[in-house]
Structure 1
Amino acid sequence: MSGVRIRVAIVDDEPLARLAVKVRLAARSEFELVAEYGDGDSALEGIAALRPDLVFIDVEMPGRSGIEVLSALPRRQRPMTVLLTAWDNYAVQAFDLAALDYLLKPVDDERLDEALDRALHAFPYRRDTQATTMPSQWLRSFAVRSGTRTLLVPTGEVERIEADGDYATLHAGGKTWLVRERLHTLATRLDPRVFQRVHRSTIVRLDQIAELRALTNRDALLRLRDGSLLRASRTYMPALADALDYLNQKTA
């Protein structure tokens, strides 16, 4: 996406946490750091004035929290948001604030790059004064080959997606389909309220998870409705836990 410059602000009371994000941003020419803040009160004032396109913001800070900062901004002034946190518990209302992603501290480089790629994908769908992304941005079907035919597999039929080198394998209704896209790319194009990446090699449709069992190393074991067992790594657990809470609230 040539010529794109996404203006970024970082909000975190820990200087080392801000530095970790800045180092990764410096390696991506599409992003420009325009401000950093060490507390929620100054962040609220600065974001309202500067109107950055994207903000990385700590969930828990002394004084005003990251969620409170976002909630205090008028909906049309809220930037795309990636939440940073050292904890595994999240506020479900973050989905209503259109958070793009959640990163667990210490921030994993691959997860941070995935969040940046998601922002790049969402950015063209944003109106100049609109903070939420348009619903049409999310992938609705997959184009797959079957012999000489090209078939469309709706995302609602896909139970999980697994990495296969430079490709990905869809599991849908007992069938498998090969998609000519990397799992990393697909993760940025799927609605996070419906699909979540749970491991470097796996994306799962949330309503297919029948059981989640926490493991001692902060990973988790997932059992899907078809009986499949999958491992969810700690790197992806924050976004997964919050997405499941959100799903449970919506279906309660």
Structure 2
Amino acid sequence: MSIAPTTAPSDAAGLAWLRRWHRAIEIGFWIGLTAVNGIANSVTVLMDIRRVGLDFADWEPAVWEWSSGIVILLLIPGVAWLTRRFPLHWGVLRRHLGWLLLGSVAFSLLHVVGMVALRELAYAMQGGNYDFGHWPSELVYEYLKDVRGYIMIVSVMESYRFIVRRLQGEASLLGPPDEGEPVESLDRPERFLVRKLGREFLIAANDIEWLQASGNYVNLRVRGHDYPLRSTIAGIEARLDPERFVRVHRSYIVNLGGVASIEPLDSGDARIHLRDGAAVPCSRTYRDALRARVGVA
């Protein structure tokens, strides 16, 4: 196991760029994919119609394809939330798979209803009428198509998150040694293992400046870098030194040694300014206990 600086300068610049632009990249990817599919499918369907001589107007294939693509694009944030709430990891796969399958049913129903509504609107604007067909049989048919697209979307999201975690480094608790007694307490770890691009590093627990819950992960902030740890915020709180770490929010824990100041807010909450320049929220539930811990009257 090597012990070295956890992030090279070029890696740090790349991760900073990714953190800054990740939202634009994600939105741009899905919009671009929808546009490419909409254009390509509209053209190929129109070519097929002309080839066999079917009686459809040239605008109809575009309405079919774009009504579907637009609704799917609007459903992407919901799928993203669902996969963050119920991620596909081996340890929780069986427990989360049922929720993801239910999500596929909701995805297909919303897709069909929205798609048909847009088509009916488009046809009405052209002075025509759109006939979806026999709803029960068409819903089954559409679901069999939608579930493949849903699986693709979930796979892309999980793959993207996996790559990002590997780039920034993923933290884990040290396990027991193969032989002999552990050199430090496993219940109250003094160090965490970080895996990054095939390498392994150790970070000291006391070097963690603050922690933030993020779905089924907790991000450990160490010297400006976030390392996701697969845990709940309550689970990791129970294993940290209570003399050094304190809960300040349902989603945040701070290292008391890194607190620079506490800014009261009119709402009764507070904002904690840390020595690394970050600011994290402190809810009123935890505010008085924090002020007492840091010696502020």
TM-score (norm 1): 0.41
Structure with the bigger percentage of strand: 1
TM-score (norm 2): 0.35
